[in-house]
Structure 1
């Protein structure tokens, strides 16, 4: 059995310190390099000798590293080469022989390594002007303008000394954000609704598990939720379905505030808001805190409602059940509970302003106001094409440009208008039925 090293108190040092010439010799001469390589070679040969006696590599490295103290002052505790350092030398020797043990020259040999006073002031000025631009990108431009600029590491050290490291630049960037960043609140109920999407819980729907997306609309003044609903996708269809139900329950808002995501920046939503007299407002890109109320609402939902779904027997087995549980939680828990931000419950603050709300006209066809509008030229056979489907319209409209109003996801009904006049609903063309009519009329296809 190989003799195991005895336990002793040692001080391990890295490879950059062991057997080096004095510190001022950053790039040692050839003779110094060979001297250092010879000292390392002695330790590596000791390891190889133990391996020839069938020692495991780890045990051989431990034995050699702990049994060969470095030369030094006898009054100080002995210092030893770290086992990992000795292992690196061993593999360097196996790969490159004796030359592999020679210390490498600095890659920036012969180049300036310190910033001049002019360069120091220039770098600080540039970084303070552009705190959001990566230093590597700035450095490439600086290097083109001043080839004498030292290595990037010298720039990073100088920035760190002046509190402009990554953390300092992020802080500076936050201070340079233009425009008001103070908290705000709409003066009245339904003056401002905020809408957004958030990832929801997963549903185990046979035969697979699907992700859900939660669409929430919150009233800025009362913090009441006019409507919220889970859907299978965070798209315009889910947003409009949620907005339609919110209007039916809580009346008309004056403004709808959203981010710049795809569901909120499209022609269909702009048409719907214009029909309803709602001003559509988008937040500035990169300013998520302006929608802080709805983001805080998402956190409340995740920590309260969605966390409760993970309790035994509380999960939802379908999308309908999930939305039903959400509606119950809003009405029974969230709306009656005192909101810390306003000092009262959302339903109490909302109820005080009921006489001031803009209700929907009971004779209003709300579904039609949510239709999109597209223009089509009627073909000679009296049909128009929507996606890959043909629809028959009044033959009197052949060759004319008409406007179609429809729900783009259902496409039923498809209402036809020409110069402000209604021409009824288009009918989906049945080509097989039309062929029979032609045959009965004597126009055989034979």
Structure 2
């Protein structure tokens, strides 16, 4: 069966003829005249091809011509031509460097590209949707990714230069633990990794994947390893919560989020999770409690991961992290630091210097009548409310006690009349 070759895109001259035909087409409105033109056939005198255009196509050309002029009608190449939207070159270089040592040379002394591609997919560095075989081979050829010197340059551009320049974080589903009542509860591992050194700044299992546990894990990471300049999270509700955003603003930490459904953007934390499953969870099949799970996890992290040689940085993560120790900024564990992680809400103070929150009424520590204040509190406890005004800490609010205030007022001179 002979198939007809597809027609080339209509040239600019033909498109202009279509637009000029609108002025002479029958119809009382522009829409009717465009539809009349869509019923006609137009022939390209250069190639002899005959074209028919829908009225929507003609209307699009007309709008672009009126708004932007002649140049928008000409054929244009894709804006993202010669770029790769789903896979970054430096991420692929990083993955190839980690996978190559596990592959063997063939009889001719080279590693087959097909074997390298299959290995990348098997170890979940990329999915076939992100990286097709054709794209993979083209990336290898155009960027010389099997050249160790070139790959090293690309990998260095992918990693941060100093420790605590950037942390990545994510949540992994962990093993279920049997409770005293016989029921099983799922666990979730919240982990932070430093981009430059690959140090796991903190990782901890919880029974719930919520904002409260996320903040607790984040605080532990800050106290252990210092303050990062940037955080790179996914778009989960815990990582986009009001508490996390407010804490980053107060700590002067830049918070950014990975594109939706783009796991490769968080490649380092994803690869840690894969290694954690293969090297730790497969060796410990059952845990009696959450405390036992966390104790063994912390022991493995500090002894078998952070102090273990990492091929990507040519040293142990902890040694690489300590090279930049003089640059690190640590937090002090005090009351002021704790309040950095409190959730903040705005309240209007009444004429009697009282505001309402958590279905209760509180008195301001100083006279702030009829002013808007910021109230910070620990969402998990809600037992103390700290008043801020114009970003200045005023002090803790006190629960309104009408009887105490009445007794105080009766004690003033002249109130016994």
Higher relative contact order (CA 8 A, sep 6+): 2
| Aligned counterpart for 1:287 among listed residues 236, 242, 262 | 262
The answer to whether residue 311 in structure 2 is matched with residue 298 in structure 1 is no
The structure whose Rg is larger is: 1
Cα pair 2:173 2:189 within 8 Å, conserved: yes
State how far apart, in whole Å, the 2-side matches of 1:168 and 1:228 are: 30
Within the alignment, does 1:191 sit opposite 2:165 as a pair? yes
**Matched-pair contact (CA < 8 Å) for 2:365–2:396:** no
Q: Does 1:219 align with 2:191?
A: no
State yes or no: 1:273 paired with 2:244: no
Q: Which residue of 2 aligns with 1:238?
A: 213
**Gap change, CA 1:340 and 1:356, over 3 Å in 2:** same
Structure 1 residue 394: Cα displacement: 4.3
SS of the residue aligned with 2:132? helix
Question: 2: CA distance between counterparts of 1:391 and 1:226?
Answer: 39
Aligned in 2, Cα 1:331/1:422: closer, same or farther, shift over 3 Å? Answer: closer
1:186-213 Cα offsets, whole Å, 9 max, x none, are 1111111111111111121233211111
Q: What's the counterpart of residue 65 of structure 2?
A: none
Match of 1:117 in 2: 4
Deviations 1:351-380 (A, max 9, x none): 222223223357783211112221011245
**Does the 8 Å contact 1:391/1:428 carry over to 2?**
yes
- Report the CA distance shift for 1:309/1:388 in structure 2 as closer, same or farther (over 3 A): farther
In the alignment, the residues of structure 1 paired with residue 129 and residue 185 of structure 2 have an alpha-carbon distance, to the nearest angstrom, of: 42
> Aligned with 1:340: secondary structure?
coil
> SS at the partner of 1:230?
strand
Q: 8 Å contact 1:309–1:316 — kept in the other structure?
A: no
Alignment match of 1:252 (pick from 224, 227, 230)? 227
Aligned pair in 2 of structure 1 residues 365, 116: CA closer, same or farther (>3 Å)? same
Cross-structure match for 2:386: 415
CA deviation vs aligned residue, 1:87-140 (integer Å, no higher than 9, x gap):
xxxxxxxxxxxxxxxxxxxxxxxxxxx996267999xxxxxxxxxxxxxxxxxx
Match among 325, 339, 346 for residue 375 of structure 1: 346
Alignment coverage as a number of residue pairs: 279
When structure 1 is superposed on structure 2, of 346-355 and 359-368 the one drifting more is: 359-368
Deviations 1:156-193 (A, max 9, x none): xxxxxxxxxxx89983997899xx99651111111111
SS at structure 1 position matched to 2:285: coil
Aligned partner of 1:316 in structure 2 is 288
Match of 1:352 among 312, 315, 323: 323
TM-score (norm 1): 0.54
Which structure 1 segments of 5+ residues have no match? 1-113, 123-144, 146-166
1:171 matched to 2:136? The reply is no
Between the aligned partners of 1:283 and 1:273, the Cα distance in structure 2 is 17
Q: 1:188 to 1:395 in 2, by over 3 A?
A: closer
Q: Shift of the alpha carbon at 1:389?
A: 3.9
- CA shift in 2, pair 1:205/1:375, >3 Å: same
Please, which of 382, 398, 403 is the counterpart of residue 374 of structure 2?
Answer: 403
For residue 339 of structure 1, the aligned residue among 288, 291, 310 is 310
Q: CA deviation at 1:255?
A: 1.1
Query: Hey, what's the Cα distance between the residues in 2 that align with 1:297 and 1:173?
Result: 28
Find the residue that maps to 1:117 and give its secondary structure: coil
Please provide the CA RMSD for this pair: 3.7
Cα distance in 1 between the residues matched to 2:362 and 2:6: 71
CA 1:258–1:440: 2 relative to 1, 3 Å:
closer
**CA separation of 1:385 and 1:362: change in aligned 2, threshold 3 A:** closer
2: CA distance, partners of 1:221 / 1:237: 28
With normalisation by structure 2, the TM-score equals 0.58
In the TM superposition, what is the alpha-carbon distance from 1:391 to its structure 2 partner?
3.3
Distance 2:299 2:262 in 1: 33
